[in-house]
Amino acid sequence: MSAIEEHAPASILDQDLYKFCMQQAVLQHYPDIDAEYRFVNRDPSILFNREAFEWLLEQISSMAELRATSNDLEYLRSACPYFSAEYIAFLSEFQYNPSAEVTCSLDEDLGLLSLHVSGNWTCIILYEVPLLAMIAEAHYRFVDVDWSYEGQRAKIAAKGKMLARAGCRFAEFGTRRRRSFKTQDIVMSELSQIRSSGGGIAGTSNVYLARKYGVPPVGTIGHEWIMGIAALENTYKDADRLALLKWQQTYSGRLAVALADTFGTRVFFASFDRELAGTYNSVRHDSGDPLAFAQAVCEHYRGLGIDLSTKCILFSDSLTPEIAIGIKNQCDSYGIGCSFGIGTNFTNDFNLASNPALAGTALNIVIKLFRCGGRPCVKLSDDKTKYTGDVDEVARAQSELAQFYQQ
């Protein structure tokens, strides 16, 4: 059994795979575009103090020292054959420049953290996940400290076994909101043991931990790819289609999971025609009612004359083992495949140390693409609480897409 690491490794691979995948696509299609990302704290009760802020600044500054090693690059060539030689060469020279690209400040009176990332889109796209992990760890090191690791191994083992017994195929997606790297390492240690005995874990989004535990790194596409294309091509109605076509140009049928909710599933289905539905093996649900989504996907495939048994739905929104099993039962009744990406429930499910009967609070934080090529970027989603972006631009997007929302 691999030893649990107390601290996050100084490795560029402590990152979710989908960020590397999108970096390659941006490098191919939009190499000279500037962009801006902004931190959003969806829970105003989550605050930060001076100690957390200063620790966070140290971690951000240390990112300048990260480089892909020869072993890292060789692992990516082997585990991710869809990465081109050109991209591997780019990554071999890549380095973060946080002093020029990251701006972070703290309103000490209110305890509010502000963070912006700006620069060339290809160069700054990798910041999101490690920054979110650092922000979360800063909060749990210095603000919310009423917790311990006691019982974590048993808790994750029980979850993994429950999912495996139910026949669920699932992956660990917890990097961005993990309580600490140690937490995620414990999670993968337990889940990999279940996998070795025939359990259903398909892999992890974290590339470093995938290599450590000998499981596949998994991940494909995020909302920012579609949001950026909507801004750069000046269209919301056709953004899903353009994003899927450009993704196909980069990956030629590999990583064929279509994200459905960037501007709402009705908008997505209007673009997801017979050609695209045949090309993409799966669709991903990330907001709204998962059971209603599963039904809508099946109806869409049936309308296109596509055999449901040849397709899969990936669910990744606020999942627990119990929710995943309920979704699987419905998908089984429809005759369509399903898989699950479980994040926060795996890597940030703690009870209070002072009162173990009470659950701790998990962060609800994101870093979203705010501007691309000088134009504002927005996300509408199937959940209004997840709308992000400039208020006026959100209104413009809603106006352009009004015909879909009125159906």
Residue-wise pLDDT tens digits, 160-182: 999 999 999 999 999 999 999 99
- Answer with the residue of higher pLDDT: 405 or 46: 46
247 by DSSP, 3-state: which? helix
Q: Percent of the chain scored above 90 by pLDDT? A: 93
Question: Is this prediction's pTM over 0.85?
Answer: yes
- CA dist list (Å): 241 to 46, 244, 267, 370: 37, 5, 10, 21
Q: Is the pLDDT of residue 222 over 90?
A: yes
CB atoms closer than 10 angstroms to residue 41: 19
Long-range Cβ contacts of 390-394 (<8 Å, 24+ apart): none
Per-residue pLDDT, 328: 98
Q: Minimum mean pLDDT among 15-19, 386-390, 399-403: which range?
A: 386-390
Say yes or no to pLDDT of 385 above 90. no
Res. 404 pLDDT band, cuts 50 70 90: confident
* Contact (CB, 8 A) for 176 and 219: no
Q: What is the largest CA-CA distance in the chain?
A: 59
Across the chain, mean pLDDT equals 96
Confidence of residue 117 (pLDDT cuts 50, 70, 90): very high
Instruction: Report which residue type is found at 169.
Output: R
Average pLDDT on 75-99 reads 98
Average pLDDT over residues 94-121: 98
Measuring CA to CA, which residue among 206, 174, 209, 98 is closest to residue 342?
174
Question: Does the pLDDT of residue 141 top 90, yes or no?
Answer: yes
Dihedral pair phi/psi, residue 117, rounded to 5°: -125, 130
93 pLDDT higher than 70: yes
C-beta separation of 190 from 197 below 8 A: no
Assign 197 a pLDDT band (cuts: 50, 70, 90). Answer: low
Amino acid at 212: K
pLDDT at 1 over 90: no
- Residue type at 330 in one-letter notation: Q
pLDDT category at 198 given cuts 50, 70, 90 is: low
Assign 7 to helix, strand or coil. coil
* Distance between CA atoms of residues 24 and 140, nearest Å: 33
Q: What is the pLDDT of residue 194?
A: 87
The least confident of 1-5, 203-207, 303-307 is: 1-5
Q: Residue 383 pLDDT > 90, yes or no?
A: no
pLDDT tens column, 11-23: 999 999 999 999 9
196 pLDDT more than 70: no
Give the pLDDT mean for 182-198. Answer: 88
Residue 407's pLDDT is 58
Dump pLDDT digits (tens) for 243-273: 999 999 999 999 999 999 999 999 999 999 9
Write down the pLDDT at residue 156.
Answer: 97
Lowest mean pLDDT among 206-210, 327-331, 400-404: 400-404
Confidence of residue 2 (pLDDT cuts 50, 70, 90): confident
